[in-house]
Amino acid sequence: MRVILHPRRIWAGFIFSGFLVGAHLAPAAAQEIVVYSARIEALIKPMFDAFTQKSGTKAKYFTASEKELFERLQAEGSRSPADLLITVDAGNLWLAQQAGLLDGFKSEAIEKNIPAHFRAKDNSWVGLSVRARPIMYSTERVKADELSTYEALAEPKWRGRLCFRTSRQVYTQSLVATMIKTLGEKRAEEIVRGWMANQPYIFDSDTRVLEGIAAGQCDVGLANTYYLARLMAKSRAFPVAVFWPNQNQRGVHVNISGAGVTKHAKNRRGAVHLIEFLSSPEAQNLFADSNYEYPANPRVKPHPLIAAWGPFKTDPVDIAAAGELQVAAVKLLDRAGYK
């Protein structure tokens, strides 16, 4: 195994000395919704602007990392001005739910717009966009018929030819957590140990995984589709393609970005209305077009660039497993020597 690190890109948002600017916010106006977001401004502002234009209600947002937002919500308790939390990965959303930071609600609109396996049973968190994590391969050195499943990447023919994301990244942890849920811990560990036996290159970003494939450092890797879409939007000649694995078995691993109403929301009704809007076709199209993610609402078509990769079968496992089995996944990755 070879570990290749890349300087972390940090988007500071409204953070100052580890805390959000506006630490002592005045109570929000009745027609204002305060959002804590782990997603950057460029991805959320178009949706909030559309919501304000349609409803007349302003969304006031602050951005920071998941960890910083969780810590802030816990420290603020009932004094928190936040009405809504937005973050990525079902594992993070599940952890926020378990920490008592989110509160469920009933909504016919959500039940209509978002499939049950993309949200908590009580809607304490709701998926708003879907990110698939298929196999990525070099169009110059690999033929699609050489590929089949995630498990098959443990075969000796891939020795020295793999690129993976670090085990510290929640995307890796969630993939392994859902494997544990579907295949059992013993089988999941056998697969991960097989990957490690092939001495993969380990990168700290999906973009670096894809660039590594393109540059010839490796031939095959795992990455979320929107990272490839971003690179292909700049150059359609980028020499990496998508392979949808496990189509004859459980399907492709998918995850979500999503939102939840905070436990101590001052404008709970407005927060629910905002989530409902974000699940609607109007906002889902903005999600799809701004970051090349798949819409969580199945009635909405993905961006043409990623639609060109064709339809695929997704793993139907309840993605709450990404949170429920995250600790088990981290321990498994450590035992298998995946750094």
Same domain? For 219 and 323 the reply is yes
Integer Cα distance of 122 and 207 in angstroms: 35
Q: Mean pLDDT lowest for which of 135-139, 228-232, 290-294, 305-309?
A: 290-294
Integer Cα distance of 202 and 164 in angstroms: 5
pLDDT-derived band of residue 287, with 50, 70 and 90 as boundaries?
Answer: confident
Residue 312 lies in a domain: no
Integer Cα distance of 318 and 188 in angstroms: 17
Are the C-beta atoms of 292 and 225 separated by less than 8 Å? yes
Q: Are strands 19-20 and 240-243 parallel, antiparallel or unpaired?
A: unpaired
Same domain? For 136 and 188 the reply is yes
Are the C-beta atoms of 295 and 284 separated by less than 8 Å? yes
Same domain? For 123 and 261 the reply is yes
Same domain? For 67 and 192 the reply is no
Strand spans (E) along 262-302: 294-295
pLDDT digits (tens, 9 = 90+) for 56-69: 999 999 999 999 99
Q: What is the pLDDT of residue 10?
A: 30
Task: Look at the alpha carbons of 63, 176, 310, 115 in this order and tell me if their dihedral is positive or negative.
Answer: negative
Q: Mean pLDDT lowest for which of 4-8, 118-122, 164-168?
A: 4-8
pLDDT digits (tens, 9 = 90+) for 103-129: 999 999 999 999 999 999 999 999 999
Same domain? For 11 and 126 the reply is yes
Same domain? For 331 and 193 the reply is yes
What's the total number of domains in the chain?
A: 2
Are the C-beta atoms of 176 and 333 separated by less than 8 Å? yes
pLDDT digits (tens, 9 = 90+) for 57-102: 999 999 999 999 999 999 999 999 999 999 999 989 999 999 999 9
Residue 313 lies in a domain: no
Query: Which residues form the domain of 71?
Result: 2-130+254-303
Are the C-beta atoms of 263 and 98 separated by less than 8 Å? no
Integer Cα distance of 201 and 207 in angstroms: 13
Strand spans (E) along 209-273: 220-222, 240-243, 254-261
Helix, strand, coil abundance in the chain, percent, nearest 5: 40, 20, 40
Residue 314 lies in a domain: no
Q: Specify which residues 82 forms β-bridges with.
A: none
Say which CATH number the domain at 100 has.
Answer: 3.40.190.10
Residue 16 has pLDDT above 80, yes or no: no
| Mean pLDDT estimate for the chain | 91
Residue 309 lies in a domain: no
Q: Of 167, 223, 200, which Cα lies nearest the Cα of 335?
A: 167
Residue 278 has pLDDT above 70, yes or no: yes
> b/e map of 167-190 (b: 16 or more CB within 10 Å)?
bebbbbbbbbbbbbbbbebeebbe
pLDDT-derived band of residue 42, with 50, 70 and 90 as boundaries?
Answer: confident
Our CA dihedral for 312, 253, 272, 116, rounded to 10 degrees, sits at: 70
Same domain? For 279 and 267 the reply is yes
Q: What is the pLDDT of residue 288?
A: 80
Same domain? For 283 and 323 the reply is no
Residue 35 has pLDDT above 90, yes or no: yes
Between CA 327 and CA 46, with CA 257 as vertex, the angle to 5 degrees is 155
Percent of the chain whose pLDDT exceeds 90: 85
Please tell me the pTM assigned to this model.
0.87
